[in-house]
Amino acid sequence: MAEAHQAVGFQFTVRPDGVDLKLSQEVIKTIYLSGVTAWKKRAIQFKNGVLAGVYPASPSSWLIVVIAMMSSLYIRIDPSLGMIEALQENLPHRDYLSVQSRAVLSAILFATGLWLFLIYLLRYMLKALLSYHGWIFESHGKMSRSTKVWLSLVKMFSGRRPLLYSFQASLPRLPVPSVDDTIHRYLESVHPLLNSDQYDQMERLANDFKDSKAAQLQRYLILKSWWGTNYVSDWWEEYIYLRGRSPIMVNSNFYIMDLLYITPTHRQAARAGNVVHAMLQYRRKLERGEHAPLRALGTVPMCSTQMERIFNTTRIPGIETDIVQHLTDRKHLVVYHKGRFFLLWLYTGGRHLLPSELETQFQRILNDTSEPQPGELKLAALTAGHRVPWAQSRIKYFGQGVNKVSLDAIESAAFFLTLDDEPQGYDPAKAKSLDSYAKSLLHGKCYDRWFDKSFTLISYPNGKVGVNAEHSWADAPIVGHMWEYVLATDCFHLGYTEEGHCKGDVNKGLPHPSRLQWQIPNECQEVIETSYLSAKLIADDVDFHGYLFHEFGKGLIKKCRCSPDAFIQLALQLAQFRDQGVFCLTYESSMTRMFRDGRTETVRSCTTEAVAFVRAMEDEGATKAQRLALFRKAAEKHQNMYRLAMTGSGIDRHLFCLYLVSKYLGVDSPFLKKVLSEPWRLSTSQTPQQQLNLVDINKFPKYVSAGGGFGPVADDGYGVSYIIVGENLITFHISSKFSSPDTNSCRFGQHICDAMLDIQLLDVKTFDF
């Protein structure tokens, strides 16, 4: 045990003549260095907190204002219009101060107040500027004069060298759309999916809702938007994620893959050592707020709130609802290998373990031949099964004793690491290698990932790695941001020796990782087995297909002066129709992080224009010119829908919140019930790449990731994640269920490929957009 190792350095013996105290110099040095590191960390966090707190001003600007006010005392000009003199007269204990002291103190107080006022004024002006979204609706490659002026003003008020959280106080709040606009857009979105009778019925329900209950619900929602920083996000997290009682494995969690073509080392312990060290570096910068904020156009800032919970975060099960537990300053990691849980300290002597030291520790775990304790092998299956049995077991069997200590160690760890025992990764020579890799990351064996942790890092024997992430605390771009940093740091900054080991000296004096101890009774083991069996049914039902589309990519699509996302979404609509013979309600995720605490909004991609284009593609009598015209119209419509969603004028989050308000008030709404019960048979999402631009993929084209994916949302539908990688590659991650007789992921992947090529054969690049 690490604790026992440390205790050796502190010994005492009671003698008749006193106490003989022995202190180890090494232990004292370690304690001293730990204390110094902790204080340095606090000092840096305090400094960066101040810098972010006064942004877009700076602490030095306070000194400038004070000096200016002090100078006015000597040139006998009063820029305060008498306020400094009034402060002098009302200072407490002014009789004990000289006239000059009162004047100086009053000038400093006034200067400080003026400085704070200017900070809030600058923030308000920046917030007002950021509330303008006209730029996003302009044609690609064209920028109006007003937008150029606006962009210059944003740059001017944004200050220099912002930290991660510098813009948080300046971000606008997510606006509440008008009920009329939302209902109009909703009816427009379902029109191509309903026959005339069904549409007339839905229109009557919508109009009845608008004329009767909508105004009351909308008032409460507007009040919430004034009171909170975001009227959607807290309810979205609670009701969409945390209150769900079904398993989160496959149904909620998502995965992200390693580099597609490159494996920096084939040594499992070494790769894990570098990746974990890179994650610790990322966490240190995150805690200090030193990452640069993401900005659209290099100027418009994105909300960074979700990044706060990347590390030290766990979803805690409850009977009715789960909670997200976020801790600070966690210094250990829990590692799972062949049914055993190990606790590994990440610090020594007040610093992070070096990559070579981490490699040594991981190799010790890999070399450990001890057997799992009773019930330990499949313990993590509790996090893969239904939430209520897990919550009940946690209270009954893990509320005290060694089980509580060990469970606390897992839930308070920085993150969770699985040293897997089966190699995975993309192999061009193996047809199903990408499919197997994705399923391993998504669900594994159902008991070798801790699905409740913010993320589980998975390390394979052949040197490949990947991530399984819990979804409630953040969305995929947040984990992707961290993952890009880690992969770039691993390959281009840390590196490996010629033998594939981590660089640096080997420190064999570190205490060995310690086994977590469990006393799991037979009754609990039965619950574990039940959870495992239910999770295995879900995992075995996942039909996954990964597809690498090499024929063309973003480069050719942009030459068409068409949005790559719109191009792919129209291809998905064509593929869906060819696969199922009907159109369906389609979900595409769009971000709303230009607003404070923003997360996502839904783009309903199956529009009337998209349906018309697909029918023309399937109509042998349609000419190429007709198809091109319909493609243009559908692409423009999709782009407009996407932009509306990004700027707070989407459909589904507004209706979702109206529905929740109706439930709180006990108001029955057939319209909202109907809307919220509609199935999304095609759920799609684009995972962004190159958020950090740490790797020039034109120079290093092999250093690209295949992105990630998620499980199917509907029992009889498809889940499709696509990643636009560089200029010439698009990856598709397609999931469905074997139990559905109507779906087949491999077949759908072929339909997507054919649809992409068929649209490209229209010679879209020759069409004047």
Catalytic sites, residue numbers: 471
CA 113 and chain centroid, separation? 38
CA–CA distance, 447 with 378 (Å, rounded to integer) = 5
- 3-state SS string over 73-140? HHHCCCCCCCHHHHHHHHCCCHHHCCHHHHHHHHHHHHHHHHHHHHHHHHHHHHHHHHCCCHHHHCCC
Residue 75: CB atoms within 10 A of its CB come to: 7
What is the bridge-based pairing of β-strands 351-352 and 323-326? unpaired
DSSP string, 541-555: TEEEEEEEE-S--HH
Nearest CA to 732 out of 597, 501, 550 is that of: 550
Which residues are CB-neighbours of 693 under 8 A, at least 6 positions away?
A: none
CA–CA distance, 303 with 709 (Å, rounded to integer) = 23
376: exposed, middle or buried (Cβ count in 10 Å: 0-12, 13-18, 19+): buried
- Whether the bond into 56 is cis, omega within 30 of 0: yes
Helices (H) and strands (E) in the chain, counts: 24, 22
Residue 590: strand pairing partners: 601
Nearest CA to 422 out of 400, 455, 438, 444 is that of: 444
What is the token pair recorded at 19?
Answer: 């106490």
CA–CA distance, 32 with 325 (Å, rounded to integer) = 30
Nearest CA to 715 out of 689, 735, 698 is that of: 735
CA–CA distance, 745 with 542 (Å, rounded to integer) = 10
**Gyration radius (Cα) of the chain, Å:** 29
Which residues are CB-neighbours of 63 under 8 A, at least 6 positions away?
A: none
Cα 25 to Cα 8, 9, 32, 57, 512: the distances in Å are 11, 8, 10, 47, 21
Q: Residues for the chain: how many in total?
A: 769
Question: DSSP state, 341?
Answer: E
Which residues are CB-neighbours of 151 under 8 A, at least 6 positions away?
A: 135, 143, 297, 299
What is the bridge-based pairing of β-strands 323-326 and 332-337? unpaired
What is the token pair recorded at 330?
Answer: 């966690």
Question: DSSP state, 694?
Answer: -
154 phi/psi in degrees, rounded to 5:
-60, -45
Residue 81: CB atoms within 10 A of its CB come to: 8
115 phi/psi in degrees, rounded to 5:
-65, -45
CA 157 and chain centroid, separation? 28
CA–CA distance, 507 with 549 (Å, rounded to integer) = 45
Which residue is listed with tokens 């340095």? 40
Question: DSSP state, 178?
Answer: P
What is the bridge-based pairing of β-strands 347-348 and 351-352? antiparallel
* Distance spanning both ends of the chain, measured CA to CA: 68
The answer to whether the CB of 461 falls within 8 A of the CB of 500 is no
CA dihedral 429, 435, 439, 444 (to 10 degrees): -10
3-state secondary structure of 733: strand
Cα 567 to Cα 235, 356, 633, 645: the distances in Å are 33, 46, 12, 18
